[in-house]
Structure 1
Amino acid sequence: MAAAGAGAAGTAAAQEQQPVWPSGVTSGNLGSYRDARGESEVTVQVGAGDSGLAFDPTMLWVDTGTTITFEWTGNGGDHNVQTVEGGGPASLDSGDPVGEEGYTYEYEVTEEDAGITHYHCVPHTAVGMHGGLAVGGDIETESTGGGNTGWPENIAHVGVPLHAHWVGIAAILGIALTFVFTFYLLKYGESAHTGHGGAQ
């Protein structure tokens, strides 16, 4: 359950709990995730991504009572939204495939939909147009790295200490200035600070 995936406090703080999605959902196109619990209305794009063959968000977690609006982008051909056979409790079915931009299909989430549902676009199921819908709080979850932005809390802990970076920059500038001075000296034969001598 949700608490089972939590490790030490420091690790848990840097991680995100996501539902355990069916493999057909996670191997689908795009792969975006949104935790929309607490929101009364959510929109899912149908025909998202560069090829127009994805749902966005691909994986969605909502509460009962949420209204989900599936909105067609007009990209990727004709699409529909339908629960995979045996794919879960929610009975998603937008009907025949449609390609019209702005077309919408609304689904009101009820208590009967609690759990995880795997749905797809029937014409494009073979090319990975799949989605997942998690409903309610009684959902099996797992820890992901979603809470980690990739940047450490203290950038000075990356590689060498931060002050050493400044030492390196100063050394590079010093070398560059030495090259410039040497070039000037070789070209003109004297230092920039040397006068042209007195009267002869």
Structure 2
Amino acid sequence: MKRREFIRNAGGATAVLGAGASTAAAQEGTGTATGTATGTGTAGTGTGNATGTGNATGTGTGTGGGGGGGTVTVAVGPNGDYVYTPGTEEPLYITPGTTVQFVWESDNHNIVVDNQPDGAGWEGHPPIQNEGFTYSHTFDTLGTYEYHCVPHEALGMVGVIEVVESTPTPGGAGEQDLHEIGAPIQAHWVGSATILGIVLTVIFSFYVLKYGESPNTGTGRSR
């Protein structure tokens, strides 16, 4: 091999080795970039975990809802009257787990328990309070709760709470629409028509029996 050809071949080999080294370097750079992207993803995950604070707020809101049966407000001495509204003029009907919030709307009232179901453990609120005071209790035991205001019991300031499985329809039974009581309109008219038909049949039969003339009777001419 001539010297000139040897130098040319050696230079080609060096170029090939240089290209290989550049490719390796490029690959190494790519790996570094990928590592950086992975680090960014980790930071993003950390930001997502911070959202957990919102879940804690939701749980707090649920706890504030009382015993799971909602909250009902009873006005204590509204407009200066010696009543609990509702409770005095008509019982307050609630389901188990309902929280009753008593709100004082005038001065010098309290809540003293007279009767309650066994094991209920309602203590009422014996200390006398004035307008603006509130007191809450969650009722879980089925039954009747009776209470009164000590300073105004003689004036009729007594109350009743009925804890029942399901609350009655407001306003009592009363007159209701057929759809409200679940009676189909078609069946209603069929029943009415049947009754009307029976009545007409009875009237017609009575008329025929009383005033009708038998075909075998009459004032035919005698021969």
TM-score range, shorter chain: 0.3 to 0.5
Q: Say which structure is richer in helix.
A: 2
Structure number with greater CO (CA < 8 Å, separation at least 6) is 1
TM-score (norm 1): 0.45
Bigger Rg, structure 1 or 2: 2
